[in-house]
């Protein structure tokens, strides 16, 4: 009897995930019938209405209050609504990603996307040595691996699949066509990244996700668990580490920034200091978020507060 109930529960959940996935795909297909700018602005408007009605909105506000304890309440509310609009835009931009990414090195100021640090892209392309690029969930972070692929950079990208398996499957197919080699985040992903570095290629990593087994570090002055993988890879291969981010600009435009190499903290013995490096990553992401707070995913439970 117990096994029968378990199967029914699993089948029910599976159907719910299938239904949600097809509703999402249906909505995105409708958006594709209209011009990109109008669809993206509509998605922004719609999520500003829908987001505050969801259970996650409470977490958004709590995260903002803890990150900015001295901020005016009106500004907290403004950022919260803008962050929901940002999520709507991010979803709609998936549909129009091929149209949005129009960067032309010959005409760098003519399209929706501008790139800061083109010379560093060229340097990485010319070198035959491993490197690590890290980013965070800021603006449309999906454009960064698309840009790397457009420059011909051979980068293996670590990504976390969506929880919904039907959405995850379609997103993976979509990403694989545009972003080079992809490695889903799971138990064996560290070996895949290590193999890429050993072969002299680059890897790309998102570093602002919570990691249950991670080391304790600080983010906005509060304890978080941070994945030590990037620091351990840098220690193992002695490769340079570059911060990269996307900034959302007015009128559905974007700036992609590949920053200068980040100094990696070292121990007195001369090896990479893994805890200090994890903290340096958090400090860099925090600086980005403080500059454009509405462009980060505040509904993400980075501080694991729900369990507390």
30 has a pLDDT exceeding 60:
yes
135 has a pLDDT exceeding 80:
yes
Q: For 255-280, what is the mean pLDDT? A: 93
Residue 308 has pLDDT above 60, yes or no: no
Mean pLDDT, the chain, whole residue set: 85
Q: Determine how many CB atoms are found less than 10 A away from the CB of residue 238.
A: 13
128, two tokens: 């035959």
Residue 173 pLDDT: 65
Mean pLDDT of 217-227: 92
Q: What is the pLDDT of residue 46?
A: 93
pLDDT for res 172: 59
* Average confidence (pLDDT) over 153-162: 74
**pLDDT confidence band for 213 (50 / 70 / 90):** confident
Rounded mean pLDDT, 200-207: 90
Listed in sequence order, the residues at least 6 apart from 166 whose beta carbon sits closer than 8 Å to its beta carbon are 17, 18, 21, 22
Q: Is the pLDDT of residue 214 over 90?
A: no
What does the alpha-carbon distance between residue 285 and residue 110 come to, in Å, rounded to a whole number? 29
Nearest alpha-carbon partner for 305 in 225, 226, 237: 225
pTM for this predicted structure: 0.87
Please, which pLDDT band fits residue 51 given cuts at 50, 70 and 90?
very high
């Amino acid at each position: 009897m117990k096994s029968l109930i378990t199967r029914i529960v699993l089948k029910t959940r599976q159907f719910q995930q299938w239904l949600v996935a097809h509703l999402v795909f249906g909505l995105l297909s409708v958006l594709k019938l209209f011009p990109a700018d109008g669809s993206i602005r509509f998605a922004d408007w719609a999520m500003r209405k829908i987001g505050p009605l969801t259970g996650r909105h409470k977490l958004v506000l709590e995260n903002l209050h803890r990150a900015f304890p001295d901020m005016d309440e009106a500004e907290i509310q403004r950022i919260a609504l803008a962050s929901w609009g940002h999520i709507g835009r991010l979803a709609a931009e998936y549909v129009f990603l091929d149209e949005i990414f129009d960067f032309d090195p010959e005409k760098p100021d003519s399209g929706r996307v501008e790139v800061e640090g083109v010379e560093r892209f060229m340097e990485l392309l010319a070198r035959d040595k491993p490197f690590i690029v890290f980013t965070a969930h800021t603006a449309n972070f999906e454009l960064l691996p698309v840009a790397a692929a457009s420059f011909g950079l051979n980068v293996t990208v670590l990504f976390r699949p969506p929880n919904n398996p039907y959405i995850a499957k379609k997103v993976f197919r979509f990403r694989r066509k545009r972003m080079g080699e992809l490695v889903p985040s799971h138990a064996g992903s560290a070996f895949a990244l290590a193999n890429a570095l050993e072969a002299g290629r680059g890897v790309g990593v998102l570093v602002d996700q919570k990691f249950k087994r991670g080391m304790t570090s600080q983010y906005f002055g509060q304890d978080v668990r941070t994945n030590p993988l990037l620091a351990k890879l840098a220690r193992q291969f002695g490769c340079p580490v570059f911060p990269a981010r996307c900034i959302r600009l007015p009128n559905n435009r974007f700036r992609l920034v590949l920053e200068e190499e980040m100094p990696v903290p070292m121990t007195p013995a001369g090896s990479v200091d893994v805890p200090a490096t994890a903290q340096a990553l958090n400090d860099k992401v925090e600086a980005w978020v403080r500059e454009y707070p509405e462009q980060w995913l505040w509904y993400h439970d980075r501080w694991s507060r729900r369990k507390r």
